[in-house]
Amino acid sequence: MAAAATPTVGLTTARTFISSLHKTLMSRAAILSTESKDASMTRLASSSHISLSHSFLQKPNSVILKSKRVVATKAVSSENETSALPGLPIDLRGKRAFIAGIADDNGYGWAIAKSLAAAGAEILVGTWVPALNIFESSLRRGKFDESRVLPDGSLMEITKVYPMDAVFDGPEDVPEDIKTNKRYAGSSNWTVKELVESVKQDFGSIDILVHSLANGPEVAKPLLETSRFGYLAAISASSYSFISLLQNFLPIMNPGGATISLTYIAAERTIPGYGGGMSSAKAALESDTRVLAFEAGRKHKIRVNTISAGPLRSRAAKAIGFIDMMIEYSTTNAPLLKELSAALCYVNSAEEVGNAAAFLASPLASAITGTVLYVDNGLNGMAVSTDSPILEKLHAAKEK
């Protein structure tokens, strides 16, 4: 009888063990289900533990871990579906930018200011003295409000506008006829040295310097007809002015800062009609960018880059006299074809140049210096024009 009772006791013990284990597993399943935010996943986890309870006799731990992984994966997946995707935002909050050469709202300088502001930077502006009153009046009257709108719907704020004439390094360089000129009356401290001192007194330091100014009094003349005065004036206003600004701003620029200037493809390729020494001035600017990148980088940890932008029908560009033809040529022949804007008539958006400048000024470009960045829809890479009759004879492919 004793021998016959042994299997019964063993079976009873096994059943008791299975029942106890089943309750334990059900308890663990309940705990897992409360950790899940997905109700349907809770039911799935619970039913899985019930149906697999027999398997737990051999490998309970591995199954429990697997079930936990399923619940966790589902929870993460659900969370990712509702959260924003990760990215590399351009964050310039806490940075201060000085943009030299803004006199209205339709140039590249304005577009750069907007992009920097959209990224969180504080904006200071330097405006040519004769244009200062009109610019400030337009700001006060809300004339620029529509073009001040940032991506978040707010308006770009310009903390302060400074009078500026970057042709003159200091008061001692200003000739008498300029000192007595009515267009300069009422303004003071507008030479480069005085300007930087004013910014230093007001704000202490800056992080970003943008050079967005150029002038060639004889730009409409072929180079062969350009006078010494016209040639040197173009170099002074369009190229050396950047050296002067950087030279004086460097002592109050925070390490890790950036400077950006604007150049044009005429620095490297022949653009008939872009005369008066302006192509030479742009070539000098690009060469200076490389040299200054070394000097400012080694001494002050400041990056120096320039953007070669496509043609824009800005107020300054109209002085050339054929800007619309250049825009049409670019629109036709650039690798990236874009329709002209009826309002501003540009081949590549000023906003795109502004965004490129924001990138160059940001930590995302911390290893980029001494570079010419082309923002021209790829026109710089073209060796021939696609609308040439010769190419038609050769059956060249065209984008319709």
Concerning whether 239 is annotated as a catalytic residue, the answer is yes
Mean pLDDT of 324-338: 80
Q: Give percent above pLDDT 90 in the chain.
A: 60
Concerning whether 187 is annotated as a catalytic residue, the answer is no
Mean pLDDT of 29-54: 41
SS3 288: helix
DSSP state of 258: E
Q: How many CB atoms lie within 10 A of CB 28?
A: 17
pLDDT digits (tens, 9 = 90+) for 216-273: 999 999 999 999 999 999 999 999 999 999 999 999 999 999 999 999 999 999 999 8
56 or 111: whose pLDDT is higher?
Answer: 111
Sequence-distant (≥ 6) Cβ neighbours of residue 147 within 8 angstroms: 105, 106, 110, 114
pLDDT digits (tens, 9 = 90+) for 337-364: 774 343 344 434 789 999 999 999 999 9
1 or 284: whose pLDDT is higher?
Answer: 284
**The predicted structure's pLDDT at residue 151:** 93
Report the predicted TM-score, pTM, of the whole model to 2 decimal places.
0.75
Q: Measured at the alpha carbon of residue 166, what is the angle toward residues 160 and 170, in degrees to the nearest 5?
A: 100
Q: Are strands 158-164 and 206-211 parallel, antiparallel or unpaired?
A: unpaired
Query: Residue 310's pLDDT band (boundaries 50, 70, 90)?
Result: confident
DSSP state of 254: E
Tokens encoding 108: 């590249």
Query: Out of 238, 282, 314, 330, which one is annotated catalytic?
Result: 282
Query: Out of 239, 279, 314, 330, which one is annotated catalytic?
Result: 239
pLDDT digits (tens, 9 = 90+) for 296-305: 999 999 999 9
Helix axes 2-35, 39-51, angle to 10 degrees: 170
Q: Give percent above pLDDT 70 in the chain.
A: 71
Could you write out the three-class secondary structure of 93-144? CCCEEEEECCCCCCCHHHHHHHHHHHCCCEEEEEEEHHHHHHHHHHHHCCCC
CA 220 from centroid of its chain's CA atoms:
33
